[in-house]
Copies of this chain bind each other. A is one copy, B any other.
């Protein structure tokens, strides 16, 4: 069942490790198949180098395990809430990558200081609000998904393919598991660049990138007339 998607999800999970974004078992990637309405996700707390495609767990949008002998990631309900609300999303990634997590812990949006940021994120990288005590106690992972969706009111998820959950860590997404992993890698680099920019800047606050430059970069990769990459105007090769 969903063999190709399982391979893609396994590869995305491994990529998080090889890119240095995941320490121990702190991360997970999933993929969504719109035809069957099923999600393929990493099992919880399993070592990355021992995982095979067969270990991937298949769940439906209600969170019920449809296939697989292992428990799904403890963050499964968050992934599902993203798939249920963000049209066109086919992959979700969660990591505790250090630089992005620092901004999440500081509950601070990452401002757009340069074209590297603008190439991937259309505007600041948003931060959710903190969950209330009852939201944490009752259905924590589902409510984590809900505050993400709440924060994206008025935003286009595929144009801003990631978020910082306050006090926690980043989630990213995309048109495939590989795309979501690329956005996790990009977010970590952007978070680091923003921190270093503030460290070396002579001005305070650091001036933002001129909006027309950011727009140009975003559009040359993702707009109707995109000309970056081999498959433009899609331009989705990161």
Contacts and interface: CB of A to CB of B under 8 A. Distances in A.
Nearest to A107: B207
Given A108-B201, A136-B213, A213-B136, A101 B116 contact: yes
Given A44-B228, A196-B195, A210 B71 contact: no
A25 B70 contact: no
B229 A103 contact: no
Contacts of A71: 227, 229-230, 232
B227 A43 contact: no
Contact of A200 (B136, B168, B195): B195
A200 B108 contact: yes
Contact of A167 (B106, B114, B230): B114
Contacts of A70: 230
A224 to B, nearest CB: 15
Contacts of A105: 113-114, 193-194, 197, 206, 209
Contact of A74 (B25, B133, B228): B228
Contacts of A201: 106, 108
A182 B115 contact: no
Nearest to A23: B189
A25 B237 CA distance: 9
Interface residues of A, number: 69
Interface string A202-238: 1100110110110010001000000111111001011
A57 B190 CA distance: 29
A124 interface: no
Contact of A106 (B44, B104, B133, B202): B202
A234 to B, nearest CB: 11
A209 B195 CA distance: 21
A207 B169 CA distance: 16
